[in-house]
Structures are given as structure tokens and as C-alpha cells.
Amino acid sequence: MAADAGRFAPSPTGPLHFGSLLAATASFLDARQQGGDWLVRIDDLDTPRNVPGAEDAILASLEAHGLHWDGPVIRQSERVSRYEEAIDRLSRAGHTFYCTCSRKRLKGQTRYPGTCRHLSLSAAGAALRVRTNATPIAFEDLVAGPIRETLTDTVGDFVIRRRDGIVAYQLATAVDDGQARIKRVIRGRDLLDNTARQIHLIRLLEGETPAYGHIPLLVNGTGQKLSKQTFAQALDDRRPTANLIHVLPALGLSPPAEARASTPEQLLAWAAGTFSLKALRDGPSSYRH
């Protein structure tokens, strides 16, 4: 396998829909265009939300659409020891603190007010937060352009292990994406506001920050992002070429007429030779499904 890679990281909370197909296709095309591997990681740490059979359905949909991954499927549930080791490193370096603030107490606040930051609380019944600072996080998004965020102003200290003991999304993603092999993270525009937090963690853990590209979203008739929460319909795996043709325009691609009779693999091979993240820079941030 090649040393460098991109990745697609769905959560097993239900089958793939057109929005997730768009994200998978974009990361796949980018990896192939860069000559790297394309990895699939199942983000299954939030066990209460996992749906039985969803992982198998997701993998079957990817295969049906010609999105063939390289190497074994990675599951975050099998990497918990790595995340706990990272948390231990952060804690020993003084970057964390326990917080007993409930969601009810913090309701309506977009930024953590630092309530427990200077307290010496025990782990019992507490979440673990990482300290942020006033140093701006700046990066050049491959699609959205230059981004600059000061975490103390936007979100404040954030949770890296929940009070129920589950490792939080931001920490697990930072550990996995901060490994040397992951060079590019291509994902939906809705995840852009997570990026500064993940870069902050990667830097504290002395990992390697990948390049990020946040692509436009598919939205429904009321302007809501297609998702399981907005009742997006599952992909029909019996019509993979038609499904791909449906999402490619959101990536700036207009397949030729003859592509409608091609296999998904043939269509993706054509798309990989034409796809350009730079072409998305001046385009809209969302497309109506």
C-alpha cells in the first residue's frame, strides 16, 4: 500500500444517503488523484447511537458504487487504547481538567465559560475537557480558503472524554487523522467548525496536521443538510451509476452522455481525471438535492 492516504469515516448510525455518498466520492477522487490510498474508518465509539447492521450496509453501498478501499477497514472501537494513551499524555502535561457542568447548566451557551477550569475535581461523574488558549488556529482550507479561529473566543475548553466514559469525537478524530499517513481530509462543509479543535489537539499531541478540504453540502427542499436526522433516504444500491451521476455536479463535474451506460468504476476513473478541489473554491457552499 502507498504511504500517503485519504480517508472516509462514516458512523454506523444508519445506511448511506446521497449526502454521505457525496463526501465518500470526493475523498475517494482526491486520494486517487493524489496517487494515495483511500482508507475507510468506521467511527463507532458512540455506541448508544450505533445501529445493528449499519456497518455492513455502509460497506456494501461503498462496494456497489465502485468505492473500493485500500487495506483493512479501521474501527475506532478497536483503537480505544490509543485514545486513552493520548488522553493520558495530555493530562500529564497539564492540558486537561475535569468538569461537572451538565448540559442543562450550559444550555444556550455556545462557548464554555470556564466554570470548572480552575477547580480540582475528581473523575467521578465528570467529563474531561482540554484547555484552549488565545493563539489563533490558522490553516488554508483546500476549498473554503483561509480559515482563522481563536478557540477561546468561539468554543472555549472542550470535552475530549464524556462523563459516560466514551472518548469524544474530537479527540478520536485528532488521534487518527494526526498520524503521519493521513495527508488529506476531504469532508463536508458542516464539519469545518470542528477543524480548529482537531488541529489544536494534533499539535498538543505532536502529530502531523493533514491538509483539509471541506466540500459543499447537499441540502433538502427546506435548505437542511441531508442527514439521518433530516430523514434522508437510504441509497438504492441497485442504481449506483445513476446515484454517482446525481452527486457529481456538486463536485463541479458534468459526466458525458456515454457515462450513463458505464460501470461505477469507469465513471469514477473518468471523474478522477477531471476532479479539482480548486474548482470548488468560488462555487456555492451547498447544492439542492
pLDDT digits (tens, 9 = 90+) for 169-199: 999 999 999 998 999 999 999 999 999 999 9
Instruction: Please determine, for residue 6, whether its predicted confidence score (pLDDT) is greater than 90.
Output: yes
For residue 20, tell me if it sits in a domain.
yes
Instruction: Please determine, for residue 1, whether its predicted confidence score (pLDDT) is greater than 60.
Output: no
In a shared domain, residues 185 and 273: yes
In the prediction, which pLDDT does 97 show? 98
For residue 198, tell me if it sits in a domain.
no
In a shared domain, residues 251 and 274: yes
For residue 203, tell me if it sits in a domain.
no
For residue 197, tell me if it sits in a domain.
no
What stretch of H or E contains 286?
A: strand 286-288
Instruction: Please determine, for residue 3, whether its predicted confidence score (pLDDT) is greater than 70.
Output: no
Q: Which amino acid is at 59?
A: L
Work out whether the CA dihedral 289, 227, 58, 86 comes out positive or negative: positive
For residue 196, tell me if it sits in a domain.
no
In a shared domain, residues 87 and 158: yes
In a shared domain, residues 185 and 284: yes
In a shared domain, residues 180 and 283: yes
Instruction: Please determine, for residue 284, whether its predicted confidence score (pLDDT) is greater than 80.
Output: no
At 94-143, the pLDDT tens digits run: 999 999 999 899 988 999 999 999 999 999 999 999 999 999 999 999 99
In the prediction, which pLDDT does 287 show? 66
In a shared domain, residues 84 and 98: yes
Give me the mean pLDDT over the 43-59 stretch: 96
Given the DSSP bridges, would you call strands 74-75 and 37-42 parallel, antiparallel or unpaired?
A: parallel
Length of the chain: 289
For residue 55, tell me if it sits in a domain.
yes
* Number of domain units in the chain: 2
In the prediction, which pLDDT does 220 show? 73
In a shared domain, residues 113 and 181: no
In a shared domain, residues 181 and 282: yes
In the prediction, which pLDDT does 276 show? 92
In a shared domain, residues 64 and 185: yes
At 64-96, the pLDDT tens digits run: 999 999 999 999 999 999 999 999 999 999 999
Q: Confidence band (pLDDT; 50, 70, 90) for 16?
A: very high
Instruction: Please determine, for residue 225, whether its predicted confidence score (pLDDT) is greater than 90.
Output: no
Instruction: Please determine, for residue 245, whether its predicted confidence score (pLDDT) is greater than 60.
Output: yes
pTM of the model: 0.94
Q: Confidence band (pLDDT; 50, 70, 90) for 285?
A: confident
In the prediction, which pLDDT does 268 show? 96
Distance of alpha carbon 214 from alpha carbon 225, whole angstroms = 14
CATH code of the domain covering residue 72: 3.40.50.620
Cα atoms in the 13 Å half-sphere on the side-chain side of 15: 12
Q: At CA 104, angle to CA 102 and CA 108, rounded to 5?
A: 115
Given the DSSP bridges, would you call strands 127-130 and 158-161 parallel, antiparallel or unpaired?
A: antiparallel
In a shared domain, residues 72 and 181: yes
For residue 195, tell me if it sits in a domain.
no
Q: Confidence band (pLDDT; 50, 70, 90) for 228?
A: low
Distance of alpha carbon 152 from alpha carbon 134, whole angstroms = 6
Phi-psi region of 108 (alpha: psi -120 to 50; beta: other; left: phi over 0): left
- Structural domain boundaries, residue 254: 5-77+176-190+209-288
Distance of alpha carbon 131 from alpha carbon 153, whole angstroms = 13
Mean pLDDT (the chain) is: 93
Residue after which a domain boundary falls, among 170, 200, 228: 170
For residue 88, tell me if it sits in a domain.
yes
Q: At CA 159, angle to CA 178 and CA 80, rounded to 5?
A: 55
In a shared domain, residues 142 and 65: no
In a shared domain, residues 85 and 57: no
